Amino acid sequence: MKKLVLAIAFIGIGGLAMAQQTTTPQDKEARRAEMHQKMEQKHQKHLDEMKKDLNLNDSQVAQIKSLHEKRKSEMKADFDKNKEVRQAKMEDMKAKRAQMDADMKKILTPDQYDKWQADRKAKMEQRKTAMKDRKMMKKPMNTAAPEAK
């Protein structure tokens, strides 16, 4: 019996220790750098495949690379330009959500309100889990075996 209690205690402590892991800004920066490096490798691989498949010369590869860089900078500029609009929309949605919450609190009894809040949180967790599962299920493109010619 003692062994069972000790085993359960260790499992519980281990679970709590795992749940306490936090992400530091350095971890985020390292992850961002790693993702950036992976994207650069992916772009280089794509250029190499284009060079091979289309029989491009070095000049053409350089022109395509500069075209991609130009497009990338334009997309970043568009993203930055629309950042304020996105933030304003997010603030508007937060305000509407808070207003709905206040209205529901007026309509429902305290027990009903608590149950509604719990249901809402549970559904949100289900959506988060479903989104994570979908991301995990996605397969990278071009994973199929090359076609025989």
Establish if 74 belongs to a structural domain: yes
Establish if 88 belongs to a structural domain: yes
Establish if 14 belongs to a structural domain: no
Closest CA to 106 of 95, 92, 94, 116: 116
Closest CA to 50 of 76, 71, 68: 68
Establish if 111 belongs to a structural domain: yes
User: pLDDT tens across 110-121, in order?
Assistant: 999 999 999 999
Establish if 81 belongs to a structural domain: yes
Establish if 91 belongs to a structural domain: yes
Residue 139 pLDDT grade (very low, low, confident, very high; cuts 50, 70, 90): low
The predicted model scores a pTM of 0.46
- As for how many domains the chain has, the answer is 1
The residue range of the domain holding 97 is 33-136
Higher pLDDT, 60 or 140: 60
Cβ-based burial of 56 (10 A; exposed 0-12, middle 13-18, buried ≥19): middle
Supply the mean pLDDT for the chain.
84
Establish if 149 belongs to a structural domain: no
Establish if 7 belongs to a structural domain: no
User: pLDDT tens across 82-124, in order?
Assistant: 888 889 999 999 999 999 999 999 999 999 999 999 999 999 9
